[in-house]
Homo-oligomer: A and B are copies of this chain.
């Protein structure tokens, strides 16, 4: 399958890192609206160098989003290690949203019309889905989440929150509403 794969030359490895760092920061701030030239400039490299390491803009973006999904997976794994099921769920939910808040590229990717491409890529490379599934199930089984709550519902509410991160909306308030429900119940 794969060729002998001689390791990258030292400068190449360094430059690759620079590109990833620069792109990560810029994409996080402004999504895919950033231009390749900007990334090159911030990385103090020529555009050509970006293209030596990544086939095109999409590939670079994919690398960045992949990174984020890895971080999310670590987060989920950590949450899953919490013993209390509800705390585990809340930790995951808040950690996920906090991270999403800091990363516009991630949000746009998951909210944009090209989904579900990204989730599929994430599923191939990480266990995020499985771990989330487990965390959700634990909370539901423990009777702390409505019994029919599923991992898909996690995606649903997560998308909703992210949609309220651009502009003036207060997404924390939104999460509160979701957790409690907006309809008044005389009992309880």
The verdict on A45 contacting chain B, using a C-beta distance below 8 Å, is no
Residues of B within 8 A of A145 (CB): 182-184
Give chain A interface residues in 142-188, CB to chain B under 8 Å. 143-147, 149, 152-153, 155-157, 159-164, 166-170, 173-174, 177-188
Question: Could you tell me if B146 and A184 are in contact, using CB atoms closer than 8 angstroms?
Answer: yes
Residue in contact with A182 in the complex, picked from B112, B146, B152, B161, CB distance below 8 Å: B146
**A137 shortest CB reach to chain B, Å:** 14
Instruction: Indicate how many identical chains form the complex.
Output: 2
**A111 shortest CB reach to chain B, Å:** 6
Residues of B within 8 A of A157 (CB): 160, 174, 177, 182
Residues of B within 8 A of A84 (CB): none
Residue of B whose beta carbon sits closest to that of A159: B163
Q: How far is the CA of A162 from the CA of B163 in the complex (A)?
A: 8
Q: How far is the CA of A167 from the CA of B159 in the complex (A)?
A: 11
The verdict on A7 contacting chain B, using a C-beta distance below 8 Å, is no
**A147 shortest CB reach to chain B, Å:** 7
Give chain A interface residues in 99-147, CB to chain B under 8 Å. 111-113, 115-116, 143-147
Residue among A162, A178, A182, A183 facing the most chain B CB atoms (10 A cut-off)? A182
Q: How far is the CA of A145 from the CA of B177 in the complex (A)?
A: 11
Residues of B within 8 A of A163 (CB): 111, 159-160, 162-163
> Which chain A residues have a beta carbon within 8 Å of chain B's beta carbons?
31, 111-113, 115-116, 143-147, 149, 152-153, 155-157, 159-164, 166-170, 173-174, 177-188
Q: Which 3 A-B pairs have the closest CB atoms?
A: A181-B181, A160-B160, A163-B163
